[in-house]
A and B are shown apart, each in its own frame.
Chain A
């Protein structure tokens, strides 16, 4: 038992690792802010294209969504970081992660937004257009507010997934939370920093997970 506590919950080692892990957590937070922002806007744009009347806009966006939902983001990341230099493009780790996540997340967010838009009755758009609103105004003021409200739990769930997924940035040596914790583990020959990293993720995500559960217990607009 003492062995177990020493290997996973060693307070001394955790204290030593704290500055490094906090630095890592800060990088993770920055990374999350950027990739969630990119993913949301990329996804929204993609969803609008995928909901377009024109097949010329619609089909490529569906193709994009399908492809990047199917490719494992880790492969995508390694391809960008380690593959691109072979064609003369060298990208820093942070940028590589951002690109990989943009491709992956926007596909996921697009699918969520699209299902939200699709669920809005056709009459809403007709009513809006009949009052002289342009297609863009009708989307912005009538369709999207309802669509977003209806899929808010799914959007938040996806945010949780993304926050966890940012740990794959450790494979391109970006010193985010997992990378820092693993460094500390390697230096101290002790797993406590990893446990601490998991604890930090938990601390970060628990409130969000609670909010989602509340949403899912029934907070959607009825028509």
Chain B
């Protein structure tokens, strides 16, 4: 008897996205298994962020299907979508902490309003998550008092506190000063150790090489190539990937 293939934590099937006449995504298929860290690379405008934003429907896909633990994200009533979104944490390039709320309140808000946790429960969980990202001592700080790296870590804590099944990172370090990038990557590395399923759109190639289970290369709205990092970086097959890698390493050098 063969073991059934485990249910993917996130499954993207034949995903298409058009903005008017422009086709941004064409027939994307991607399965992410539990505990996997999938890294998405590609030139700007390749559709990486759009794909990520389709996963929790911040962008409305034109067609296709998205399943989280086997449950559909598309074609469901709004209330069901709100519940499904709790399972899909998202971290943005621009952090988007709520500037009028303290770090702690940023992390408790959705726990209380969307999950219905009690104040005590939400605060305990928030402190636990802030501790995890190394910012427990900043619980009462306002976002404007935090560095970019700290803000992004609070944003990660805000998403984690809802116990998501998968975390989406949309260029989480692109808006950060170089010396602050490390602290955010460290948190992501810790999360990986803890078995969090993650999809990361980022230009941090070193991080991809070292931490990713699988790297997906996108260009022109399609997945051109995917594989383990040593394959993608060490033995690229398509010309497009080769060209992209030489461009990126040229920049990094």
Contact = CB atoms under 8 A, between A and B. Distances in A.
Interface of A: 121, 123-124, 126-135, 137, 141-142, 145-146, 149, 221-223
Interface string B80-100: 001101101110101011111
Contacts of A149: 100
A221 B98 CA distance: 11
Contact of B110 (A123, A124, A131): A131
Contacts of B92: 123, 126-127
Nearest to B115: A132
B153 interface: no
A119 to B, nearest CB: 12
Nearest to B158: A131
A47 to B, nearest CB: 18
B58 A137 contact: no
Nearest to B114: A132
Nearest to A137: B113
A133 B96 contact: no
A146 B99 contact: yes
Which residue, of A124, A130, A223, has the highest number of chain B Cβ atoms within 10 A?
Answer: A130
B100 A132 contact: no
B100 A221 contact: yes
B99 A131 contact: no
5 contacts: A127-B96, A130-B56, A131-B158, A132-B83, A137-B113
B196 interface: no
B83 A131 contact: no
Contacts of B82: 129, 132-134
A124 B85 contact: no
B141 to A, nearest CB: 15
A131 B162 contact: yes
B58 A132 contact: no
Given A123-B96, A127-B155, A130-B56, 4 more contacts: A130-B90, A133-B82, A135-B78, A141-B113
B96 A121 contact: yes
Summarize A's interface: helix, strand, loop or mixed.
helix
B162 A132 contact: yes
B114 A126 contact: no
Given A129-B58, A131-B86, A222 B113 contact: no
A132 B99 contact: no
A206 B115 CA distance: 46
Contacts of B99: 146, 221-223
A113 to B, nearest CB: 16
Contact of A137 (B88, B100, B114, B158): B114
Given A141-B109, A222-B144, A130 B98 contact: no
Given A123-B92, A131-B159, A132-B86, A145 B114 contact: no
Nearest to B99: A221
Nearest to B86: A132
B99 to A, nearest CB: 5
B137 interface: no
Interface in B51-99: 56, 58, 78-79, 82-83, 85-86, 88-90, 92, 94, 96-99
A146 B85 contact: no
Contacts of B85: 129-132
A222 B88 CA distance: 28
A124 B109 CA distance: 13
Interface in B177-233: none
Contact of B79 (A126, A134, A141, A221): A134
Report which residue of B92, B94, B96, B114 has the largest number of chain A beta carbons within 10 angstroms of its beta carbon: B96
A150 to B, nearest CB: 10
Contact of A124 (B86, B96, B144): B96
B100 A130 contact: no
Contacts of A146: 98-100
Contacts of A128: 98, 110
A130 B97 CA distance: 12
A127 B91 CA distance: 8
Nearest to B159: A131
Contacts of B159: 130-131
A135 B81 CA distance: 12
